A = this chain, B = another copy of it.
Amino acid sequence: MQPEISDQILYSFLIGGSCASSTTTTTTRSSFYPFAMEDTSSQDKALATTLRKHREGERMRRERINSSLNKLRNLLSCNPKTDKATLLAKVVQRVNELKQQTLEISNENVPSETDEISVLNFENCSNDDGRIIFKVSFCCEDRPDLMQDLVETLKSLQMETLYAYMTTIGGRTRNDLVVVGNKEQHSVESVKLLQNAFESLLERSNQSVMMGHGGGRERSKRRRPLDHIKRV
């Protein structure tokens, strides 16, 4: 990447160095040169202007970089005096979190080809308020009365829908439900109740599809649902 071997050293003061001294006003600094620079040949002048352009270019570059860094400080709502290093580390962490969140929401909610059920209880929801929370996900053929069937199933289990995310594409549907029940009526064991209830719901779904449409539906319309709306 870099010249790791070049031990050649060019002494910058020969052309007016002095490494760090910030004067935002572009003062002509030739008078400060400690040694004989009276022989200002045209070559030296050209080199001086080259260096000046270089210097100002670098300044602009640093400004652009720091501008973005300040924007990131605001976006992450952290102290304006946060170090560059820790700030960038936080940015990496945050981008990872956000990517995973949107990926969970967008990418996994695609109806699968085969019927599937998954039930689990939310361990990380440890509010001791007498409620217990489960997440139910399933894929099956779509049918008009599926939603009502779903609502009645939950009602029979004495559970409420906290939120639902559902995707329907080309006759297949995928539903992710977060449901909540009272702890007096439900425990971790209710996972099995939910599993059984939704298994029979899927069986009913298959039967109804078989009778209603003869089992054959066109699949050509299927697409990935969010590709047209938002990217991952």
Contact = CB atoms under 8 A, between A and B. Distances in A.
A18 interface: yes
A12 B89 CA distance: 33
A168 interface: yes
Interface string A18-52: 11111110010100101000000000000000000
Interface residues of A, number: 76
A100 B168 CA distance: 24
Interface stretch (A1-9, A190-198, A199-207, A210-218): A1-9
A125 to B, nearest CB: 5
A229 B75 contact: no
A158 interface: no
A163 B109 contact: yes
Contacts of A169: 162
